[in-house]
Structure 1
């Protein structure tokens, strides 16, 4: 990880889905770069992650690290996360909306209506609700940045409901940027490609069990690698670097933009 010292000094940054994966990597980098960070997740694990970060990066860089638990699939949960962040840090300068992820991997005709709704609640509504909950505070202070995490899986196999949700995240970004700009608020996004990460401590859904389910998942992996010009998965650091750049003042003239971070796959 390349650290840009004090890039987030004086900033209060909320990172959702911060208990693991990309969210955790972003939170670690924000703290290492001098930002006061609030980790938000519905898993209690987020408090342990915040504790470890507090002992490592936060303590080393003399910046506070906080954590809140909330179910961001609901508006009440988004309000709770926003209120918790304000109570802990006193203000919000940046919101990184990272919650989401494929629950099932299979051709669309095999999804049940209930599964489709769960995918949309997991990968669209957390961003929609957090933008709504945080935006009034950013508008009131006439400054701030929202960084959403979409996906290049908007053009991918065996996860149509997830693709639709992440397409919605792109639309939130481009449309909200128009409304927020007059208030001094930027809205941007990254679109990650396949990303190598440690085994998840909290699973999104059932792991592929049957040979058919394993084959459907492998089709996703193969298509992801093939679509990348670099023919590989990315790393957590590569995803966090792009998110933190867009979140920082270095990107002050960028808004309404979705940046693919997928080795050349534009989604």
Structure 2
């Protein structure tokens, strides 16, 4: 896989733009790279049945595409307003010749999470890999006194409660060799004051990942997390100020934001029974050089 990291916009920041959450890929300038033209599969996940929450765009789409090209069947969730992105992800996954099931669901209730897992198992014939990718942030509120009840509730429920509900529903269907991959963030290690609630949930996900790995290890189920740094996804123009987008990612040692396609290989590695069979309870950073410890 080769990413064109010399694109001027990756080095010079992103043009002013704003969207309403959760944002759409088609409205982004420039469009993100999900690996459409660069990711080549090698059968590393052949026959695995995978479920990705928030798989319609951004990192979720890149993971869905990579999994499909590695031979895995893919189910993913999306919000109603993300239907255009979900349709495009479905096209990419099906073009790889595997089964795809797009599931419209708001994961902020346990009943919805239960239904998503049940529909996935029915569509794919079982479940081997759960990727808890769905997340919410709102970085336009700078101070704690500006946080609204609605945004606090949405962040905590989407990022933490739904993750636990998804795990609870999925584990009875996971056998030996299966894995759960959670999405953490550099914010868990180096939190921004403008992401107070979001960063706290990501630190919680790290704790949950290690704890769940200890609980499920005797059953042969691995649990890990990926901690991305600044990645160019629809969530950024939908939740960041234009001023922050102009310098987005430039604070990293590599001096630029990452693309979703640059994160997906970490998820492939962690899902692989051959390559990551002894990897559990770890948080793998894909941060452009920012430390994760």
Bin for the TM-score computed over the shorter chain: 0.7 to 0.9
The reply on whether 1:143 has 2:177 as its aligned counterpart is yes
Give the structure 2 partner of residue 259 of structure 1.
284
Closer/same/farther in 2, CA of residues 229 and 74 from structure 1, 3 Å limit: same
CA-to-aligned-CA distance 1:120-158 (integer Å, 9 cap, x gap) = 1222222221111101221xx333100101100122321
**What residue ranges of structure 1 are gaps of 5+ in the alignment?**
none
The reply on whether 1:66 has 2:105 as its aligned counterpart is no
Cα displacement (A) at 1:205: 9.5
Cα displacement (A) at 1:243: 1.4
Indicate the structure whose relative CO is greater, using CA pairs within 8 Å and at least 6 residues apart: 2
Cα displacement (A) at 1:263: 1.3
Cα displacement (A) at 1:218: 5.4
Q: Are the counterparts in 1 of residues 254 and 288 from structure 2 also a CA contact under 8 Å?
A: yes
Q: How many residues align?
A: 249
Q: Structure 1 runs of 4+ off > 3 angstroms?
A: 203-208
Q: Distance in 2 between matches of 1:163 and 1:13?
A: 27
**What residue ranges of structure 2 are gaps of 5+ in the alignment?**
1-37
Closer/same/farther in 2, CA of residues 108 and 149 from structure 1, 3 Å limit: same
Give the structure 2 partner of residue 107 of structure 1.
142
CA-to-aligned-CA distance 1:190-248 (integer Å, 9 cap, x gap) = 00000123xx3xx699656xxxx555x459x56x532x221211111111111111111
Normalising to structure 2: TM-score of the pair?
0.78
Larger CA deviation: 96-105 vs 84-93: 96-105
Greater percentage in helix = 1
Closer/same/farther in 2, CA of residues 123 and 12 from structure 1, 3 Å limit: same
The reply on whether 1:235 has 2:259 as its aligned counterpart is yes
State the secondary structure of the residue aligned to 1:225. coil
Closer/same/farther in 2, CA of residues 146 and 171 from structure 1, 3 Å limit: same
Superposition RMSD on alpha carbons, in Å? 2.2
> How do 1:1-267 residues align onto structure 2 when only pairs under 5 Å count?
1-43=38-80, 45=83, 48-58=87-97, 63-109=98-144, 110-138=146-174, 141-154=175-188, 155-157=190-192, 158-197=194-233, 200=234, 214-215=242-243, 217=244, 221=247, 224-226=249-251, 228-249=252-273, 250-267=275-292
Q: Are the counterparts in 2 of residues 196 and 235 from structure 1 also a CA contact under 8 Å?
A: yes
Closer/same/farther in 2, CA of residues 124 and 204 from structure 1, 3 Å limit: farther
State the secondary structure of the residue aligned to 1:191. strand
Normalising to structure 1: TM-score of the pair?
0.85
Q: Distance in 1 between matches of 2:218 and 2:178?
A: 12
